[in-house]
Amino acid sequence: MKILTICAAVFPLLFGGCALHPLGPLDKAPDHQAAQLKGYAPFAWGISTSSLQYENKAVSPENPEYYVRDWDLLVQQKKAPIVGNALYSWSDWNKDLTALKKIGVTHYRFSIEWARVEPSPGKYNEKAVLGYVRMCRKLREAGIEPVVTLWHFTFPAWLTDPKDSSKTNWLNPQARNHWNLYVSKMVKATAPYVNFYAPENEPNGQVLTAYIIGLWPPCHIFDFKGYKAATIASADMFRDAAARIKEVKHSAKVLSVEALPWWKPAPLDPGGLLYNTVMHSNFDHLDRVYDVCDIIGFNYYYSQMAGPFSLLSEGMKHGSNFTMMGWRIDPKGLGNQIRYVGKRYDKPMMITENGIATKNEQKRLSYLRDHIAQIRMAMDDGYDVKGYFVWSLADNYEWHYGYVPKFGLATMDPNTKARILKPAAYYYRDVIRTSNRLQQVSPNP
């Protein structure tokens, strides 16, 4: 997801020249020296997906198990493209498993749809709970470590307040209590098979898109009060989830998943106002939760200049240095981010998403190779990177962009639902094989 749009550039500009930034000072986290931990194994070679982007509902609206997400309301209001059955990953999940086995990943990150397991407040769908437990069990039987995300952008629609949008989702007074019960329930059910939990996927990007950019529920524009409140609420709920996870299974690892583009200061940025704003967006949430994380996970896709022109023309650039989304391809940005995050938090790291929307397989292959090479270089410098996950298994629903961007290592055969591997999937398979054999990250197998 691209987290800033044209609108995001405008507000800070209005404040150009102000001494005080509306979001306050940055750098709240202590400055650490990066952990100089040696060692490769166990390195996680994974793929990431999410429930809404992959699963079909597989229940009709008359069925009491039917569920509605806040995103469904957005689609109904024609503010987002139709999701439909996505990749049928609820009824045909075995097709995903077959593809994962062919590629030979060691880890698989997927998310649980909160609304599916709790379609109305306090009423759980036990069949759906067991469906997710089955996925975890099947992955483990296949020798693949499940990495369970408990929230990937979407909320049950019953957390939307149609009368007062300031009480929607994170800020709904019922949310925290229900979240704690939901997390406990899902962790208890899956814990026999799961060692890694990510409470939230890119809460920093979601809060920005929901409260500043106005694209995601509750669709507020430049609502800095809401932004701050939702950042705090999502961080509190992350900390709650970490506590619930440790109560159930102390040995399980808690993982953050933040959206961390590599931002570069730009000349036309009075007082560093834009740079400060985007750095807030990167780190405000993580600063509040890093101490309860065993591993700092982050998603890296691109770098960008934090200047007005770059922000205004965002997503519009094309050519060999850009992806289908108009994102700048910058593998060195990943190396820089690993070093920055390593020093800032002094914890082991995982790249929980990295990938490219393209129809050109050579471009996808080079993108993966060059980013994996940066991980290797950072590890050679002593940074403790524990894993890398490609976004994504197959071409999927890409939020506001619908089904247009092609992020997949595979496509879906519409008749059989089989995942047909693209050339880059075989490249990734060979990277995994060679790296495991040599016990070091090997971008050129």
- Scanning 17-25, 87-95, 165-173, 197-205 for contacts with ligand BGC by CB under 6 A, the matching segment is 197-205
- Scanning 38-46, 199-207, 267-275, 276-284 for contacts with ligand BGC by CB under 6 A, the matching segment is 199-207
Residue 357 Cβ vs ligand BGC, minimum distance, rounded to whole Å: 7
Q: Is the C-alpha dihedral spanning 135, 140, 145, 148 positive or negative?
A: positive
Neighbours of 271 (CB within 10 A): 14
Using CB under 6 A, pick the residue from 147, 242, 259, 286 that binds ligand BGC: 259
Cβ distance 407 to 355 under 8 Å? yes
Q: Which helix (H) or strand (E) holds 110?
A: strand 107-111
Which residues, 6+ apart, have CB-to-CB distance to 422 below 8 Å? Answer: 361, 364, 408, 409, 410, 411
Q: Where are the alpha helices (DSSP H) in 160-303?
A: 175-190, 203-211, 224-248, 273-289
In Å, how far are 127, 302, 425 from 362, measured between CA atoms? 42, 18, 11
Residue 153 Cβ vs ligand BGC, minimum distance, rounded to whole Å: 6
CA-CA distance, 400 to 71, in Å (whole number)?
A: 10
Closest Cα partner for 348 from 107, 32, 48, 29?
Answer: 32
Cβ distance 155 to 69 under 8 Å? yes
Q: Name beta bridge partners: 111.
A: 149
Cβ distance 435 to 444 under 8 Å? no
Using CB under 6 A, pick the residue from 398, 406, 429, 432 that binds ligand BGC: 398
Using CB under 6 A, pick the residue from 67, 110, 388, 391 that binds ligand BGC: 391
Q: Which residue is nearest to ligand BGC (CB)?
A: 1
Looking up tokens 């036990």, which residue turns up? 126
Residue 397 Cβ vs ligand BGC, minimum distance, rounded to whole Å: 8
In this complex, which beta carbon is closest to ligand BGC, that of residue 202 or of residue 284?
Answer: 202
In this complex, which beta carbon is closest to ligand BGC, that of residue 191 or of residue 424?
Answer: 424
In this complex, which beta carbon is closest to ligand BGC, that of residue 193 or of residue 302?
Answer: 302
Residue 205 Cβ vs ligand BGC, minimum distance, rounded to whole Å: 6
200 binding ligand BGC? (CB under 6 A): no
354 binding ligand BGC? (CB under 6 A): no
Using CB under 6 A, pick the residue from 168, 209, 277, 299 that binds ligand BGC: 299
Cβ distance 107 to 196 under 8 Å? yes
Q: Name beta bridge partners: 149.
A: 111, 198
In this complex, which beta carbon is closest to ligand BGC, that of residue 108 or of residue 193?
Answer: 108
55 binding ligand BGC? (CB under 6 A): no
353 binding ligand BGC? (CB under 6 A): yes
- Span between the terminal Cα atoms of the chain, in Å: 30
Which residues, 6+ apart, have CB-to-CB distance to 433 below 8 Å? Answer: 104, 445
Interface characters, 1-30, with ligand BGC (x: CB under 6 A): x-----------------------------
- Scanning 34-42, 200-208, 267-275, 370-378 for contacts with ligand BGC by CB under 6 A, the matching segment is 200-208
Site for ligand BGC in 157-176 (CB under 6 A): none
- Scanning 13-21, 80-88, 198-206, 264-272 for contacts with ligand BGC by CB under 6 A, the matching segment is 198-206
Which tokens belong to 173?
């007074």
- Scanning 173-181, 201-209, 311-319, 431-439 for contacts with ligand BGC by CB under 6 A, the matching segment is 201-209
Q: Where are the alpha helices (DSSP H) in 5-44?
A: 6-14
For ligand BGC (CB under 6 A), the number of binding residues is 11
Residue 206 Cβ vs ligand BGC, minimum distance, rounded to whole Å: 9
Site for ligand BGC in 124-153 (CB under 6 A): none
Closest Cα partner for 112 from 138, 85, 150?
Answer: 150
Instruction: Give contact residues for ligand BGC (rule: CB under 6 A).
Output: 1, 50, 53, 201-202, 205, 259, 299, 353, 391, 398
